[in-house]
Structure 1
Amino acid sequence: MTPVLSPNTQAILLLTAPLIAGRGAASSDLLSPGEYKRLARHLREIQRQPADLLSPDAAEILRACQPIIDESRMQRLLGRGFLLSQVIERWQARAIWVVSRADAEYPRRLKARLREDAPAVLYGCGASGLLETGGLAVVGSRHVDDALINYTMSVGRLAARAGRTLVSGGAKGIDQAAMRGALEAGGNVCGVLADSLEKTAMNREHRNLLLEGQLALISPYDPSAGFNVGNAMRRNRLIYALADAALVVKSDVNKGGTWAGAVEQLDKLNSVTVFVRSTGELCAGLDALRKKGALPWPNPRDTDSFAEVFNVRMPAPAPSLKVGFSPLDGPSAAGATSSAAEPLDTAPASQNERESRAPVDAVFDSRSPTAVSEQHPPITPDAVAPTGEAKMLPQSETTPADVLFGAVRAAIQQLLSAPMKDAEVAAALKVSNAQAKAWLQRLVDDGRVEKLTKPARYVARSQPSLFGHESA
């Protein structure tokens, strides 16, 4: 990854990054992810890009953006150029690279799968090319017993032997065990950190892992940021987006980052197949995820059976409905199919991205008592199964309400090629206004539909970007 920041990335950092070295009054003005998303969308509409906010005619562009973000607020943020130059030197001294959605080097997987919700800026160190290799995401609770630690390490080792990248979050417990197992077996690992990237980059213990291209660490948060529960929850979607399949080893029910990330993937994003551990001690959280559509982990024992995991797909959604038919009319109403959203940016990854190397800190949370150097006896994923026949978690199907929404979703998006009121959507689908509003709100939450005001209407979000290099 090139250490030189593009003009677009510099502008985005000035607008959104705290620039920890220069904490002050301006930090309270930082644009939130939602605010920046609206600003970037507006810039595309007026055929501009973030770097133009630093150009000689910036005053005119700032006035054009006044309806979205207050002009004086933007001026204060963009005036932090000296602080930015200081913090860039600090990052470079620690081999931390920075890339924004406006750069061709930005991970295409994140841009294609998360679109406007992909982080505006990513900080990282190590072999950035690993971010495009896919692989298996392994996630789970922080507080687990030794049996699950050993089980998870064996999954990481098998991924390494199969030549698949292991993606996880670097937190103590399941995350660290999976990453440790893969690294000890000589595999490649991507760690998506929620905090302390700069501190991690300064530790010498695992520096060779990054220098040799075995490890990449990234974070959507400032390299000096400390732990924050909200940040830890939000980064989970990046773990799934970087992988080809995911395994949840342990989860609580209705609480915690593991649960929230898996549910978001199952209910909204649907970018990868989600598996849950199917042997060993039963877990209420895994059972609940099965009821939401997660699949039982097939417990592969060798590299060939492990490779088959990536050919498994989540059950296909029910067929969409033709516009003008009621979802309650029966099979004759089905027929229209949903078109897949196209990636906002398909620029090829640069050669620098493939060759980047950097020093790194401990992959693992410094609060964890477990170190990479500790030796663990070889174990297969089935070794933690209880004595006798392995206990399988019960399987459940998707709820009828989810099936119905999956069937009507494409029909609503087709209707909303032009703005419509909720009552008009209800009339076209022959359902109640309350039902139409509920479906529309789900589509708004999913990012597929935008709600307009004055008057209140809904419209399908247009997919193509005016700027191939900036997909906000």
Structure 2
Amino acid sequence: MTPTLSPNTQAILLLTAPLIAGRGTSSSELLTPGEYKRLARHLREIQHQPADLVSPDAADLMRACQPVIDEARLQRLLGRGFLLSQVIERWQARAIWVVSRADAEYPRRLKARLREDAPAVIYGCGDMGLLESGGLAVVGSRHVDDSLIDYTMAVGRLAARAGRTLVSGGAKGIDQAAMRGALEAGGKVSGVLADSLEKTTMNREHRNLLLDGQLVLISPYDPSAGFNVGNAMQRNKLIYALADASLVVSSDLNKGGTWAGAIEQLDKLKFVPVYVRSTGESSSGIDALRGKGAIPWPNPQDADAFEGVFDVAAPTPVVSPQTGLALFPGNGPSDMASTPPAAPEVLPAIEAPTETAQPLVSASTAEPIEPVPDGAPSTTQAPVDMAEGASLIATSVATPADTLFATVRGVIQVLLKTPMKDAEVALALEVSGAQAKAWLQRLVDEGVIEKQKKPAGYIVKQSSLFE
């Protein structure tokens, strides 16, 4: 069963989506990602959300949006209700679901890492839960020889044996080889497509994998959209954002989507460590990426060694100044949450169902209005009376760093009553992977937690529970 489209998602689709039905063409007036970002900010500032634009009394609101988007243009886009009903019926018949940034079900990793640059809408088919499992992103060129195909399939099989999700782009060549290797070995795969989502999900071979929860396919582009070079370039950052580490098997020099995506990670986004193939015949592209800071792939031979590739901290990302993830104030889920819950209530369970949505699987909890910047203390604690706070500051001899880490220690001890990987801890605390690794290693050194192999992850030491 596909999730029910929320009113906000329907409005966002009308504003931004081509709504390709059959052989029809899309509207040339669609809001670009930049235009939609400006509109979303404007709606937030005037205390509204997209769903209000399709309400019976939306005329005044559309006039209020005139400084950002022309009122007549908004009316034409929002008047495509019949076309939207047609494509929704088509998607539902193919088990294609749609979520927007205003939904609690929206992939948490994309929202946390890409923030306002996360796609307004994500289309998909399969188990949404796989999108939160991290794993290894494997990317590379479309045109490669058989030796590289075999090499890449072996990497996919090893990821499956290690219980790690394989993330890739579904393109011919390296992408498909990595995904095929993982799937044939019984592993799980998240595929981020640049085109033809509908056609790919209807493939008989893929259909069973999608239904069995072994494969999820997503795209930020209309399910019927064809190939577009620009779209293929833009979707690369989604592949990295869903992963915990990445491997570039092959790349041209200074051209192509693989090169552009890897350079963006190394120079700007820095979501995950970027490895490059270190065996076989080298290439100018691979050598240049190493010169940019990519790490030689250590060629792990078993599941335990494979886990080691995730222990390398990613470089600290350059965080752009943004006002937060909350696009629309109100009483709905996710972006529209107005008051973050207290930390003990939200941290032990990262995922929780909501009353207003019906996802394929249980979805992540609502995001707070103001996300915690990487490395900053959590804002989800209960407020402290100002006079009491002043007294605490006056009498405390601890440094701010000590105070922060004391809080972090208690929160992580609650989290790690069951094993969690460092990437999962980073997501729960909404900090960078590097910051989470640093805190976890400090707690390991203090003997508060330990790192175990089976199941892989960090867990609190039993003795520390009674200290």
Report the TM-score, using the length of structure 1 for normalisation: 0.68
Partner of 1:5: helix, strand, or coil?
Answer: coil
Q: Which whole-Å deviations, capped at 9, do the CAs of 1:169-203 have from their partners, x for residues lacking one?
A: 00010000000000000000001011111111222
CA 1:264–1:184 in 2, change beyond 3 Å: closer, same or farther?
A: same
**Where does 1:134-283 land on structure 2 (aligned, <5 Å)?**
134-283=134-283
CA 1:315–1:233 in 2, change beyond 3 Å: closer, same or farther?
A: closer
- Verify: 1:355 aligned to 2:361, yes or no: yes
**Where does 1:333-372 land on structure 2 (aligned, <5 Å)?**
349-351=351-353, 353=359, 355=361
Contact 1:243 1:272 in 2 (8 A): yes
CA shift at 1:343, angstroms? 6.0
Q: Which whole-Å deviations, capped at 9, do the CAs of 1:32-65 have from their partners, x for residues lacking one?
A: 1111111111111111111111112311111111
CA 1:22–1:13 in 2, change beyond 3 Å: closer, same or farther?
A: farther
Q: Distance in 1 between matches of 2:126 and 2:320?
A: 39
CA 1:58–1:213 in 2, change beyond 3 Å: closer, same or farther?
A: same
**Where does 1:387-402 land on structure 2 (aligned, <5 Å)?**
none
CA shift at 1:313, angstroms? 1.4
Structure 2: unaligned runs, 5 residues or longer: 327-333, 338-349, 363-374, 376-429, 431-467
**Where does 1:361-440 land on structure 2 (aligned, <5 Å)?**
none
Report the TM-score, using the length of structure 2 for normalisation: 0.69
Q: Distance in 1 between matches of 2:138 and 2:145?
A: 16
CA 1:341–1:313 in 2, change beyond 3 Å: closer, same or farther?
A: farther
CA 1:253–1:66 in 2, change beyond 3 Å: closer, same or farther?
A: same
CA shift at 1:206, angstroms? 2.3
Contact 1:104 1:350 in 2 (8 A): no
Q: Which whole-Å deviations, capped at 9, do the CAs of 1:260-283 have from their partners, x for residues lacking one?
A: 111111111111111111111111
Q: Distance in 2 between matches of 1:38 and 1:343?
A: 13
Partner of 2:125: helix, strand, or coil?
Answer: strand
Partner of 1:28: helix, strand, or coil?
Answer: coil
Q: Which whole-Å deviations, capped at 9, do the CAs of 1:286-331 have from their partners, x for residues lacking one?
A: 11111211111111111111111111014568xx9xxxxxxxxxxx
CA shift at 1:354, angstroms? 6.0
- Verify: 1:44 aligned to 2:50, yes or no: no
Amino acid aligned to 2:147: A
- Verify: 1:35 aligned to 2:35, yes or no: yes
Q: Which whole-Å deviations, capped at 9, do the CAs of 1:12-34 have from their partners, x for residues lacking one?
A: 00001111118778701111111
CA 1:26–1:220 in 2, change beyond 3 Å: closer, same or farther?
A: closer
Deviates more, 1:16-25 or 1:297-306: 16-25
- Verify: 1:80 aligned to 2:80, yes or no: yes
Identity of aligned residues (%): 79
CA 1:354–1:76 in 2, change beyond 3 Å: closer, same or farther?
A: closer
Partner of 1:52: helix, strand, or coil?
Answer: helix
Q: Distance in 1 between matches of 2:157 and 2:87?
A: 38
Partner of 1:221: helix, strand, or coil?
Answer: coil
Q: Which whole-Å deviations, capped at 9, do the CAs of 1:368-409 have from their partners, x for residues lacking one?
A: xxxxxxxxxxxxxxxxxxxxxxxxxxxxxxxxxxxxxxxxxx
Contact 1:26 1:76 in 2 (8 A): no
- Verify: 1:295 aligned to 2:260, yes or no: no
Q: Distance in 2 between matches of 1:172 and 1:232?
A: 12
Deviates more, 1:17-26 or 1:77-86: 17-26
Report the equivalent of 2:389: none
CA 1:316–1:204 in 2, change beyond 3 Å: closer, same or farther?
A: closer
Q: Distance in 1 between matches of 2:25 and 2:304?
A: 57
Partner of 1:44: helix, strand, or coil?
Answer: helix
Q: Distance in 2 between matches of 1:3 and 1:36?
A: 23
Equivalenced residue count is 340
Q: Distance in 2 between matches of 1:58 and 1:255?
A: 46
Partner of 1:138: helix, strand, or coil?
Answer: strand
CA shift at 1:67, angstroms? 0.9
Q: Distance in 2 between matches of 1:338 and 1:121?
A: 21
Contact 1:210 1:216 in 2 (8 A): yes
CA 1:42–1:300 in 2, change beyond 3 Å: closer, same or farther?
A: same
Q: Which whole-Å deviations, capped at 9, do the CAs of 1:101-121 have from their partners, x for residues lacking one?
A: 000000000000001111100
Q: Distance in 2 between matches of 1:74 and 1:291?
A: 48
CA 1:146–1:264 in 2, change beyond 3 Å: closer, same or farther?
A: same
Q: Distance in 1 between matches of 2:132 and 2:34?
A: 26
Report the equivalent of 1:61: 61
Q: Distance in 2 between matches of 1:263 and 1:184?
A: 31
Q: Distance in 2 between matches of 1:155 and 1:174?
A: 11
Structure 1: unaligned runs, 5 residues or longer: 321-336, 357-409, 411-463, 465-472
Q: Distance in 1 between matches of 2:17 and 2:23?
A: 10
Pairwise CA RMSD of aligned residues? 2.6
Amino acid aligned to 2:294: A
Contact 1:26 1:77 in 2 (8 A): no
Report the equivalent of 2:120: 120
Q: Which whole-Å deviations, capped at 9, do the CAs of 1:401-434 have from their partners, x for residues lacking one?
A: xxxxxxxxx9xxxxxxxxxxxxxxxxxxxxxxxx
Partner of 2:246: helix, strand, or coil?
Answer: strand
CA shift at 1:355, angstroms? 3.3
